[in-house]
């Protein structure tokens, strides 16, 4: 399929580059470093070769969310966003941007999001999970009440918010001790992000701001497969679940969430997601430079789905959600 749009596609600046190094063996880092710093060279050649019309770019992880000092986080976020805006300006037909935000301070984050959307032309935001605030061991999740004014800004601007993974802090990772291979994208990323997403669903956030749209990568971080059990556990017990939200968790998942295929190029997972959340809420992505564009594109172009669904997932859903003009 030609014309695909990917929206979990990353870059780095010098200040955040080493955040990605720890996820890869030393002998692989040279390759990853070249990939993540490149924007207009190899990246574009691969896009052309494998039918990607556009990438919506975002900063690598954990980046801004791992800078405890709010002032410093804001400084680096603005630097990354200015760099991204200039890169997009050089080739706006092929690139758009998602803002990096200093969520250590919700007011600063709201102001930066407004600047990025209104002044820099960005089409949404991406945050790497929880933020470390004040010191490395103090964290906050985005369902907490101090963030609700920030979500008001997201709703007012009417732009999507990508909730991207990060690893849990070491003191919260006892279950992975001795099994480091489970950290990162193998398992810990998905578990951490799925719980964060469920917190958002149960918090009542979407009752107050029903037009807020959250995007999850990696085919929904396991939630399409698990959603029935989340909602129906011990279904014989009246009022089994207690949370502030007014509706079933699955209703928020189906109405306020989108998912992408980033880093999960598996047709049974795609078919399960289509049944769970609907074809209109799934979008193609590769997770470049950490996954291969060819692996994503060749799989997607031959997946056993209808051509109408392939076009929706590969292109038109993203055009609609991000209010992009199609050629």
Predicted TM-score (pTM) above 0.95:
yes
Say which residue the tokens 């470049």 belong to. 288
| 287 is an active site residue | yes
Q: Which of 251, 273, 277 is nearest to 262 (CA)?
A: 273
For 277, the token pair is: 């959340």
Alpha-carbon distance of 122 to 120, in angstroms, equals 6
Residue range 69-79: mean pLDDT, rounded: 98
> What does the pLDDT look like over 88-104, one tens digit per residue?
999 999 999 999 999 99
Residue 43 has pLDDT above 70, yes or no: yes
Residue range 173-198: mean pLDDT, rounded: 97
Alpha-carbon distance of 295 to 50, in angstroms, equals 10
Q: What is the pLDDT of residue 325?
A: 86
In order of their start, the domains of the chain are: 4-321 (3.20.20.140)
Task: Give the long-range contacts of residues 29-38, CB within 8 A, separation 24 or more.
Answer: 32/289, 32/290, 35/288, 35/289, 36/10, 36/11, 36/12, 36/60, 36/289, 37/11, 37/12, 38/289
Alpha-carbon distance of 20 to 189, in angstroms, equals 14
For 292, the token pair is: 């291969």
Query: DSSP per residue over 63-121, as a string?
Result: GGGG---HHHHHHHHHHHHHHHHHHHHH-TTTEEE-B---TTSHHHHHHHHHHHHHTT-
Pairing of strands 4-11, 214-216: unpaired
Residue range 218-241: mean pLDDT, rounded: 94
SS3 297: helix
Q: Which of 327, 245, 316, 242 is nearest to 281 (CA)?
A: 316
> What does the pLDDT look like over 102-148, one tens digit per residue?
999 999 999 999 999 999 999 999 999 999 999 999 999 999 999 99
Query: By percentage, how much of the chain surpasses pLDDT 90?
Result: 97
pLDDT band at 41 (very low <50, low <70, confident <90, very high): very high
Alpha-carbon distance of 70 to 156, in angstroms, equals 24
Residue 326 has pLDDT above 90, yes or no: no
Residue 327 has pLDDT above 70, yes or no: no
Burial (CB count <10 Å: 0-12, 13-18, 19+), residue 222: middle
SS3 5: strand
Catalytic residue among 19, 53, 143, 287: 287
């Amino acid at each position: 399929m030609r014309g695909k749009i990917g929206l979990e596609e990353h870059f780095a600046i010098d200040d955040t580059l080493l955040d990605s190094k720890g996820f890869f063996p030393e002998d692989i880092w040279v390759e990853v470093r070249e990939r993540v710093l490149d924007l207009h060279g190899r990246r574009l050649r691969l896009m052309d070769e494998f039918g990607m019309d556009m990438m919506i770019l975002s900063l690598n992880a954990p980046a801004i969310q791992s800078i405890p000092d709010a002032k410093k986080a804001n400084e680096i976020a603005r630097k990354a966003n200015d760099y991204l805006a200039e890169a997009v300006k050089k080739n706006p037909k092929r690139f758009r941007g998602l803002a990096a935000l200093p969520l250590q301070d919700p007011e600063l984050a709201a102001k930066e999001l407004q600047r990025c959307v209104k002044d820099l032309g960005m089409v949404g935001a991406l945050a790497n999970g929880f933020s470390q605030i004040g010191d490395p061991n103090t964290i906050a999740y985005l369902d907490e009440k101090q963030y609700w004014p920030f979500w008001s800004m997201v709703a007012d601007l009417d732009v999507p918010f990508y909730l991207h993974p990060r690893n849990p802090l070491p003191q919260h990772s006892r279950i992975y001790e001795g099994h480091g291979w489970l950290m990162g994208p193998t398992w810990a990323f998905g578990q951490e992000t799925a719980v964060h997403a469920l917190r958002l669903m149960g918090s009542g956030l979407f009752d107050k701001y029903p037009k807020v749209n959250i995007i999850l990568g990696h085919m929904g971080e396991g939630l399409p497969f698990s959603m029935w059990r989340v909602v129906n556990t011990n279904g014989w017990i009246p009022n089994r679940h207690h949370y502030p939200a007014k509706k079933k968790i699955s209703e928020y998942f189906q109405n306020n969430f989108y998912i992408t295929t980033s880093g999960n190029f598996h047709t049974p997972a795609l078919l399960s997601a289509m049944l769970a959340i609907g074809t209109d809420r799934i979008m193609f992505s590769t997770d470049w430079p950490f996954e291969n564009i060819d692996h994503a594109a060749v799989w997607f172009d031959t997946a056993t789905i209808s051509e109408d669904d392939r076009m929706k997932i590969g292109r038109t859903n993203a055009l609609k959600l991000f209010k992009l003009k199609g050629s």
